[in-house]
Amino acid sequence: MHKVTVVNRIQQTFDNLKAKGEKALIPYIMAGDPSLAMTESLVLTLAEGGADLIELGVPFSDPIADGPVIQQAAERALQSGTTLKKILSTVRSLRIKTQVPLIFMAYYNTILAMGLMGFCKEAISAGVDGLIIPDLPPEESDELYKATMAAGGPVIIFLLAPTSTSQRRKEVIKRTHGFIYYVSLTGITGSQLTDLTQVKKNVQAIQKMAKKPVAVGFGISSPEQAHDVAQFADGVIIGSALVRNIFEHHQDPAFLSNLKVTTRKLKTALASKN
Amino acid sequence: MKAYPDKNGRFGQFGGMYVPETLMPAIQELDQSYQKIKRDKAFQQELQRCLKNFVGRPTPLYFAERLTKTLGGAKIYLKREDLCHTGAHKINNTVAQALLTCRMKKKRVIAETGAGQHGVAVATVAAMFGLEAEIYMGTEDMERQALNVFRMRLLGSTVTGVNAGSRTLKDAINEAMRDWTTNVATTHYLLGSVLGPHPYPMMIRDFQSVIGREARKQILSVAGRLPHCLVACVGGGSNSMGLFYPFIKDTNVKMVGVEAGGHGIKSGKHAARFSGGKPGVLHGTMTYLLQDSDGQVNLTHSVSAGLDYPAVGPEHSFYHDMGRIHYTSVTDKEALAAFDVLSQEEGIIPALESAHAVAEVVRLAPTMKKNQILLMNLSGRGDKDVQQVANMRNIPL
Ligand SMILES: Cc1ncc(COP(=O)(O)O)c(C=O)c1O
């Protein structure tokens, strides 16, 4: 029997960034909004603009962790006929062109419906690196974990929230791979982030315990905020703000080149010191 | 038989806690608080007092003599949950959870509602205990249950319309979960059925089991034996589980859960999870779910808002697979006919949800022997549905 060793692009990316003293820019887009062809162009543009890892939302009919912006993006994606299988094909074709780490953000039922083992095998062969499942706490993750082990990936990235107890922090730190997704606020995606001091305190406490990268998401929309968060976090996730931007402007002829500029600005904002 | 759920909140493969990390601590806290009040004498006494003096328990077990004669088979008994304060079984659970909310020192409750019965029951106890309440309701349901929307507002609650997806119960739960995720520090989510993440399915089953405990005692005292068969409608599954659970070890007692067949199973427009669904995860629990092959949740249809939901309580899935409870479905048309039957044979206007159970009784009783007993849970009264039924029949009011 021979074991396939999967080079974990997520880990490698964070290692490289650390060596360069940089922070990770992690944009989130909804796959299939407005179409999967557009998703492919968006991923390439974001990567060219300096995105270090990219989260691809898998649309679900009942996204309980998402605010209106991402809910509506999911509705549009489903209406355009997006399915998990088609997203996997998109990843396959993207992998010919880019090695940027790709992470699926999917609700559990969408991968459960495909079969955990079947999904993991397809995902790893297509080139998906990580999974963020907002409705799968560590307590319920054993079966998916087994499937990822048997298939040789993708890795599961768990979330921590402001409400997480220290016991839960330990559990998540033990189980997460690649990085820890710290939810900056007690709420859903697209809410307004107001209390950065508290975020900083929590992230630093987690970093001290974890010795794993901590990326912060939810409520970060401007380069200024991204800059502030990057002063202490290892990565910054930008979701709703980007999803809204894509929805409002994707028909402009100059949209992709503008997006590349915006992305570059964000990446620069992460790098600049105060 | 082992006691379920296990310590992980599982009924076999079903149940569990599939919620965002933000909510996990709250769910664990709720579990601990529930374990505490379960053994707390003062709490239990206060709950008993509320159930007796405010809800009006025990509810009668009524022998439906004319209906029995007409159908010409089994003796039909009705457990009269329609006589509870606010007109449905829902208040058994809301009184208990409101007391628990006070114990947890939370001042605000949120809830979802389909038919509006749970919403009204929440608004009622919120008024009684001085809690702030916000009720989420799909805009389609607000239309068909306009009377209950007014009742909730009259009772001092905020009713927030949800204009997403099918604009029914499922979408109201999505929105309530988002609110809870945002306001978890101050707010208790007062869920209305044996759904959602652990400990809700267990806790709400326990709170609703008062129905079955009373019914068991009552039938033993009037008939001297247990019923041959129990019948109840199954939306999320709380009135049925409440009736069935205290009989679950009585292996001679058959149990039939009635789901909403809508326009018929073949039409695809229904809410019969055990006819068209397969196991999946929605709203924090693994259970039978109406979904497409990509795992997207299907739109459902039922004339009855309270049964119009794509998933079912996980404990039902467990007893379904085990074969302990039999599930069947009743179409809109059959339920509407049964609505008339009970009104005219017994002088009781049933809720459209409960009319589904009546329809099954109408089918089942004639196939049974005259000395057999059929005990049905009449989960609610039909006043809330009168306007909708008149509309459907083009009768101006
Ligand atoms: C009168 C009545 N019966 C039944 C139901 C269905 O819920 P459950 O299956 O939880 O009893 C409802 C729900 O709104 C209801 O109002």
Distance, CA of B226 to CA of B298 (rounded, Å) = 39
Exposed/middle/buried for A98, CB within 10 Å: 0-12, 13-18, 19+? middle
8 Å CB contact of A163 and B170: no
- pLDDT for B397: 87
Q: Which of B26, B184, B294 sits opposite A113 (nearest CB)?
A: B294
Q: Is A198:A77 a contact under the CB 8 Å cutoff?
A: no
Q: Backbone dihedral region of B224: left (phi > 0), alpha (psi from -120 to 50 degrees) or beta?
A: left
Question: Residue B121: is its pLDDT beyond 60?
Answer: yes
| B178 Cβ under 8 Å from any chain A Cβ | yes
R_g of chain A computed on alpha carbons? 17
Average pLDDT over residues B198-217: 98
Cα of B306 to ligand 1 centre, how many Å?
A: 5
pTM above 0.90, yes or no: yes
Q: Assess whether the previous peptide bond of B5 is cis (omega < 30° from 0).
A: yes
Q: In percent, how much of chain B has pLDDT > 90?
A: 95
| A165 Cβ under 8 Å from any chain B Cβ | yes
Q: Please tell me which residue in A22, A33, A52, A55 is annotated as part of the active site.
A: A55
Question: Residue A4: is its pLDDT beyond 80?
Answer: no
Q: Which amino acids bring their CB within 6 angstroms of ligand 1? A: B 88, 90, 114-115, 117-118, 193, 233-240, 306-307, 351, 353-354, 379-380
| B7 Cβ under 8 Å from any chain A Cβ | no
Q: Which of A71, A109, A161 sits opposite B295 (nearest CB)?
A: A109
Q: Where are the domains of chain A?
A: 8-271
DSSP H helical segments within chain A, as ranges? Answer: 9-20, 36-49, 68-79, 84-94, 108-114, 116-126, 142-151, 166-175, 196-210, 223-230, 240-249, 255-271
- The encoded tokens of residue A214 equal 């901590």
Place of tokens 């039939």: B256
CA angle B275, B278, B279 (to 5 degrees): 135
pLDDT in tens, B173-195: 999 999 999 999 999 999 999 99
- pLDDT for A7: 56
Exposed/middle/buried for A237, CB within 10 Å: 0-12, 13-18, 19+? buried
Q: Backbone dihedral region of B83: left (phi > 0), alpha (psi from -120 to 50 degrees) or beta?
A: alpha
* CA distance to partner chain B, nearest, from residue A264 (Å): 32
**Sequence-separated (6 or more) residues with CB below 8 Å from residue B206:** B38
- pLDDT for B2: 75
Question: Residue B74: is its pLDDT beyond 90?
Answer: yes
pLDDT in tens, B321-373: 999 999 999 999 999 999 999 999 999 999 999 999 999 999 999 999 999 99
- Given 3-state DSSP classes, what are the helix, strand and coil percentages for chain B, each rounded to the nearest 5? 50, 20, 30
Average pLDDT over residues A201-228: 96
* CA distance to partner chain B, nearest, from residue A229 (Å): 20
CB atoms within 10 A of CB B224: 7
Atom of ligand 1 nearest to the CA of B87: 1
8 Å CB contact of A183 and B164: no
Domain A8-271, CATH class in plain words: alpha beta
Average pLDDT over residues A197-201: 97
Assign B164 a pLDDT band (cuts: 50, 70, 90): confident
Q: Hey, whose CA ends up nearest to atom 16 of ligand 1?
A: B117
Assign A271 a pLDDT band (cuts: 50, 70, 90): confident
Assign A274 a pLDDT band (cuts: 50, 70, 90): low
Q: Which of these ranges, B37-46, B255-264, B383-392, has the smallest mean pLDDT? A: B383-392
* CA distance to partner chain B, nearest, from residue A5 (Å): 30
Kindly provide the b/e burial profile for residues B72-93, where b requires at least 16 CB atoms within 10 angstroms of the residue's own CB.
ebbbbbbbbbbbbbbbbbbbbb
